[in-house]
Chains A and B, each alone.
Chain A
C-alpha cells in the first residue's frame, strides 16, 4: 500500500524534524511510508529482489545518517529515492553484471490485481506490461516507474535520474510509446 492510499496528517517534513530530535517513532514512520517506493526503485535498477532488499536497507540507513545534512531543498521522498537509486547502481557495479529481468523471480504484484478468475486476463496483461517496462533503458524505465508508481513530478524524476526536467518528460513519453507498441 502506498502512502497515497491512506491520508496521514503528519508530513515528511515534520517526521524528519522529529527524527533529527531523536524520536525513533519518526524513523519508523518514514520507513513504513517509503519502504515500498524505495524497494521499487532499487528493484528497477538492480533487477534482483534480494539485492533490492539490501539496497533498500542501505538507502534508509544512509539517509538517516545524513538527516542532519538534509537541507530540505528537495522533498524528503525525492532525496531518499535518489539515494536508493545511487545505492542500487553501486550494488550493480559491485556485482559486475548487467541488470537482468528474471521472470521466475518476479516480485508479487499489488493485491488489487490478485483476485477471482475473471481478473486472470488483467493480471496476465499487467504482468506483461511490467515485464515490458523492465526491458526499457534505465532512464526511460525509471521515468515511467517513478511517474506511474510513485506519482513523482517530472522535476522530481529529473532529480532522481540525474537529468533535466525536460529530459525526464521525454524519457517518460518515449518509454510509454515503446510500451504501447510492445503491448499491441
Chain B
C-alpha cells in the first residue's frame, strides 16, 4: 500500500463515513480499508466522531427562525417605530398639559396609565413644529407664580422685549 494512496484515502474518510461519496468512490474507499489496517483504524475513529456529533436543541431552529422574521419585519417596516414614537410623543405632550381633573369627571376620556387623553378636548394647542403647548398650562397660575416663571425665562415684565 503506497503512502500517497493512503493519504488520498484518508482525506476522503470523512466523506465516506458521512455518506457523501457516490457509489464508485465509496466502493474504492471500502476496498482500500479492507486491505489497509492503518487506514481502517483511522476510519473507525472518524466514524466514532461522526456518529457522536452534537445536535442543536430541538427548538433552536424555531427560535432563530422567529427572531429572524421579527428582525426582518423591523427592518422592512421602520415606519412602525416612527409611528409608535409619534403616538408616544403626542400622548406624553397631552399628559403634560392636560388638566388635573379626576379622569372620571371628564366624559369621553381614554385612560392610559400616566396619560389622560380627552376625546372631546378642544383646548390643545399644537404648534407648527408639532410640539404640544398652550395657554391651558398657564391658566391656573397666580400672578406671583406667573411673574416667577417669566423671570426664569429671562423675559422682562415691563417695557417688553427690545
User: What is the interface of chain A, defined by CB distance below 8 A to chain B?
Assistant: 1-2, 4-5, 22, 24, 27-28, 31-32, 35-36, 38-40, 43, 49, 53, 56-57, 60-61, 64-65, 107-113, 122-123, 125-127, 129-130, 133, 144-145, 147-149, 151, 169, 173, 176, 179-180, 183
Contact = CB atoms under 8 A, between A and B. Distances in A.
Interface in B73-90: 75-76
Interface residues on B, range: 20 to 34
A32 B61 contact: yes
A176 B45 contact: yes
Nearest to B59: A53
Per DSSP, chain A at the interface is helix
Per DSSP, chain B at the interface is helix
B121 interface: no
B49 A133 contact: yes
A35 B71 contact: no
7 contacts: A27-B72, A57-B64, A60-B68, A61-B64, A144-B49, A145-B53, A151-B18
Given A65-B71, A151-B15, A151-B20, A56 B60 contact: yes
B49 A126 contact: yes
Interface string B3-21: 0000000110011011110
Contact of B53 (A60, A65, A123, A149): A149
Given A31-B64, A61-B71, A147-B14, A56 B49 contact: no
A36 to B, nearest CB: 5
B69 A24 contact: yes
Given A31-B64, A56-B64, A60-B64, A126 B56 contact: no
A149 B19 contact: no
Given A24-B72, A126-B51, 10 more contacts: A1-B55, A39-B60, A57-B67, A60-B68, A61-B64, A110-B54, A122-B48, A123-B52, A148-B49, A148-B53
B41 interface: yes
B61 A148 contact: no
Contacts of A110: 51-55
